Amino acid sequence: MTRLFALLAAAFLALLPAAACAAPSRVVALAPSLAVLALDLEAGHLLVGKAEGGSEPRLKHLPSIGSYARPSLERIAGLKPDLCLAIKDGTPPETVRRLRAAGFPVLVLAPEHFAGLDEAIRQLGDALGKKSEAARLRRMMAARLAKVDAAVASLPASERKKALIQVQGTPPMFAGPATFSGELLRRAGGSSPLPAAPPYPRAGVEQVLAMQPEAIIISGMACSEDAAELWRRLPGLPAARSKRIFIVDADLFSQPSLRSLDALEQLTELLHPGLLKRGSHSNGGTHGAGN
């Protein structure tokens, strides 16, 4: 397999001088969210492959390059990309190193929070020749964030909901305040009872009871009725007594993307019903299932 990758890379390098000055026309996304971001930039026609995962129907026709955590270098080389899109804290560094060593350009983006997402959109717009589309998306994102921020700023500190975002079921794992989910929670008018580190701590039932969360948001690999039922059976839990245990769409909450704006508006409505005017956001609305 390694020899096959080397041969395919050599074949690509033979064509490189003629294509070096051209804008990319064959793009491989090493993370599903980056493929969706290319669609948002109206550059979906440039995509020739993507990592497995995600539920975007417009990407189902694309060849798979393997899993997000272990992409196949041979499959990538076989697609002859003139640009690969990687995520700083997701794509294996060895994958980036080997692709670059073989002559495949790699753009590493860091959409780890909303500020990083804004910069990633700018960089990707520049790389794909979609500067005007990127500028439009950045303006839209800034406007929607400003609306939520302004609404949440009107809340007294005492009304911020102590909440946990669960990302794995057994044993329970939660997103800490330093993660992207932690930023969602803070901007939505919530507060995390967890310490800043580690980013994704595990906590048993007794520990969660001691934290007394007023809401539990169940996402990621924990997205199931079984996970929710565990907390609903605990009368000593404020979130159970107030029926604020919600299951949300993991695709919205798992990784920064433009769909994260939907996640933020949804979470704000779940924690503070009526704080945002219903219907005032182009892609907002409540998709979670409460108990």
The residue extents of the domains of the chain are: 2-109, 157-271
Q: Which CATH number fits domain 157-271: 3.40.50.970, 3.90.470.20, 2.40.100.10, 3.40.50.1980?
A: 3.40.50.1980
pLDDT reported for residue 278:
46
Per DSSP, helices labelled H in the chain are 2-19, 32-40, 73-78, 93-101, 114-127, 131-153, 180-187, 205-211, 225-232, 238-241, 250-253, 260-271
Q: Beta 173-174 vs 161-168: how paired, if at all?
A: antiparallel
The predicted pLDDT at position 222 comes to 67
Fold: same for 2-109 and 157-271? yes
Segments of the chain with pLDDT less than 70: 1-22, 222, 278-291
Express each pLDDT in 78-90 by its tens digit.
Answer: 999 999 999 998 8
Predicted pLDDT of residue 170: 81
- pLDDT, tens digit, for every residue of 51-79? 998 888 999 999 999 998 999 999 999 99
CATH of domain 2-109: 3.40.50.1980
According to the model, what pLDDT value does residue 266 have? 97
What are the φ/ψ torsions at residue 47 (nearest 5 degrees)?
-75, 135
Q: Which two tokens stand for residue 258?
A: 């433009």
